[in-house]
């Protein structure tokens, strides 16, 4: 009895998918998930990023138990059909677990396609429109002085785009360490205060503009903790400091209010790392809420939807700034750079310095040079995985989920991550 999972049409050769498996490893202490698809041709396999650090076990199970059986026996060249099959077979679609699992499949199939064509993925996408991707990097500290010292060090290493994050009394501040509270008698004395944040952030950027070279681009990540009015107040207060972009001024639950924030201030808004469907990201662009789209490529399903998003950004006057800190695998970082160098809409690429242990597990991991990222020219992604090395860095149930749900206000109310 033919099954819907059989090869639905004749294909040009008898290459088939033989095995699909999620590999989980944490060489930098951050759980990374990469899907490996083996084919019936010995030695021909592909790798795809499926990294959802906070729920890596769910993705591993989703890939190994739910998706693998749909794909084994299929022709690996039918990328679009196979990713749609993976999506529709669950009926209810979208969400970070589903999309990261599908991204692992999608990107592994693009890797195989490149290897079969003898071409790097960026050439499969139509080739370069730029030689390399400019990157930004994170500087943070407990005080203005600490934060700017960190920024100066990064500038000396060649970066021209620096994201500044400074602690606020009590709960730290996204990406910056905790500092002594101003509210020892409050119900939750390590709490985070939006009013302190709104007061101290402009002070940081005023000092940064004074202390740092004028050509340095400054970025900042609010991390979703303001009301629409507070977002307007913050953006307006930062206008004198020429930010390259201001990120995540509103939580996903308030994204429909972004256009009013964007209209109230010329400060460019970057939103999107929290998109968990292709549709989320399309609406951010289409409804005029963003100047930069920041999706985490594997969270929206991989390279296939992301390249469509880059084209939509191009015709909408929006630029890309794919999410890419340490909870993106080196394969995901390679997919980001393939998009960066082939998209007219490219804006900036979030950079991350991987530990040498990551380079050991994933030979071919891209390295940032003078602030620039260039794709590998080897076929596919040009990245491999050393399974023995990967096994030396087992993933824990990530402390990153405690981090994500770790911010409370001084009254104890949990703050959106």
For ligand GCO, give the closer residue by CB, 106 or 327.
327
For Mg ion, give the closer residue by CB, 134 or 273.
273
* Annotation marks residue 91 as catalytic: no
The DSSP code sequence of 314-380 is HHHT-EE----STTS-HHHHHHHHHHHHH-TTB--EE-----HHHHHHSTT----BTTEE----SSB
The entry of ligand GCO, Mg ion, none that residue 74 binds, CB within 5 to 8 Å by partner kind: none
Binding to Mg ion (CB under 5 A) within 208-227 occurs at 221
* Annotation marks residue 174 as catalytic: yes
Is 327 a binding residue for ligand GCO by CB under 6 A? The answer is: yes
Query: Which of 77, 325, 364, 399 is the binder for ligand GCO (CB under 6 A)?
Result: 325
**Regarding beta strands 45-49 and 319-320, do their DSSP bridges make them parallel or antiparallel, or are they unpaired?**
unpaired
Piece in contact with ligand GCO (CB under 6 A), picked from 112-120, 228-236, 298-306, 321-329: 321-329
| Least Cβ distance, residue 286 to Mg ion (angstroms) | 21
Piece in contact with Mg ion (CB under 5 A), picked from 72-80, 159-167, 269-277, 366-374: 269-277
| Least Cβ distance, residue 10 to ligand GCO (angstroms) | 43
Contact 194, 173 (CB under 8 A): no
Q: Nearest CA to 319 among 293, 338, 339?
A: 293
Is 276 a binding residue for ligand GCO by CB under 6 A? The answer is: no
Question: Which of 45, 75, 122, 174 is flagged as catalytic?
Answer: 174
For ligand GCO, give the closer residue by CB, 196 or 221.
221
Residue closest to ligand GCO, measured at CB:
325
Is 53 a binding residue for ligand GCO by CB under 6 A? The answer is: yes
The contacts of residue 199 (CB under 8 Å, 6+ apart) are none
Would you give the binding string for ligand GCO spanning residues 335-374, x where CB under 6 A is met?
---------------x------------------------
Question: Distance between alpha carbon 231 and the CA centroid of its chain, in Å?
Answer: 23
Polymer length of the chain: 417
The contacts of residue 12 (CB under 8 Å, 6+ apart) are 77
For 27-51, b where at least 16 C-beta lie within 10 A, e where not — what string?
Answer: bbebbbbbbbbbbebeebbbbbbbb
The DSSP code sequence of 191-214 is -B-HHHHHHHHHHHHHHHHHHS-T
Contact 327, 51 (CB under 8 A): yes
Binding to ligand GCO (CB under 6 A) within 234-253 occurs at 247
Question: Distance between alpha carbon 291 and the CA centroid of its chain, in Å?
Answer: 17
Query: Which of 106, 196, 221, 415 is the binder for ligand GCO (CB under 6 A)?
Result: 221
Catalytic residues: 174, 223
Which residues of this chain interact with ligand GCO, rule CB under 6 A? 53, 221, 223, 247, 273, 323, 325, 327, 350, 400
């Amino acid at each position: 009895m033919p099954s819907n999972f059989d090869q639905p049409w004749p294909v040009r050769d008898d290459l088939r998918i033989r095995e699909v498996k999620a590999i989980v490893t944490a060489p930098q202490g951050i759980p990374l998930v990469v899907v490996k698809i083996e084919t019936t041709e010995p030695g021909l396999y592909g790798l795809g990023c499926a990294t959802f650090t906070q729920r890596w076990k769910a993705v591993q199970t989703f890939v190994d138990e739910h998706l693998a059986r749909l794909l084994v026996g299929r022709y690996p060249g039918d990328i679009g059909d196979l990713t749609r099959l993976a999506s529709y077979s669950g009926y209810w679609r979208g969400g970070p677990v589903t999309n990261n699992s599908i991204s692992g499949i999608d990107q592994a199939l693009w890797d195989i396609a490149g290897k079969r064509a003898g071409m790097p993925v960026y050439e499969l996408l139509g080739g370069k429109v730029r030689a390399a991707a400019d990157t930004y990097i994170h500087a943070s500290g407990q005080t203005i002085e600490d934060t700017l010292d960190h920024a100066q060090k990064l500038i000396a290493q060649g970066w021209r785009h620096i994201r500044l994050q400074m602690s606020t009394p009590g709960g730290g501040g996204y990406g910056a360490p905790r500092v002594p509270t101003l509210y020892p008698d409050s119900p939750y004395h390590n709490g985070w205060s939006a009013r302190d944040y709104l007061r101290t952030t402009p002070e940081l950027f005023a000092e940064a503009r004074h202390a740092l070279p004028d050509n340095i681009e400054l970025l900042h990540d609010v991390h979703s903790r303001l009301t629409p009015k507070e977002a307007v107040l913050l953006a307006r207060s930062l206008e004198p400091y020429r930010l390259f972009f201001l990120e995540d001024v509103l939580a996903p639950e308030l994204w429909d209010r972004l256009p009013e924030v964007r209209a109230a201030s010329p400060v460019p808004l970057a939103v999107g790392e929290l998109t968990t469907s292709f549709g989320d990201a399309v609406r951010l662009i289409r409804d005029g809420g963003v100047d930069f789209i920041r999706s985490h490529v594997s969270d929206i399903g991989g390279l296939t939807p992301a390249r469509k998003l880059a084209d939509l950004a191009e015709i909408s006057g929006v630029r890309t700034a794919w999410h890419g800190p340490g909870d993106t695998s080196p394969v995901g970082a390679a997919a980001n750079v393939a998009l960066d160098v082939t998209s007219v809409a490219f804006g900036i690429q979030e950079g991350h310095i991987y530990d040498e242990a990551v380079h050991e597990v994933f030979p071919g991991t891209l390295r940032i040079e003078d602030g620039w990222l260039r794709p590998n020219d080897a076929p596919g992604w040009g990245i491999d995985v050393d399974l023995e090395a990967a096994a030396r860095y087992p993933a824990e149930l990530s402390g990153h989920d405690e981090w994500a749900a770790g911010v409370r206000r001084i009254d104890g109310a949990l703050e959106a991550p």
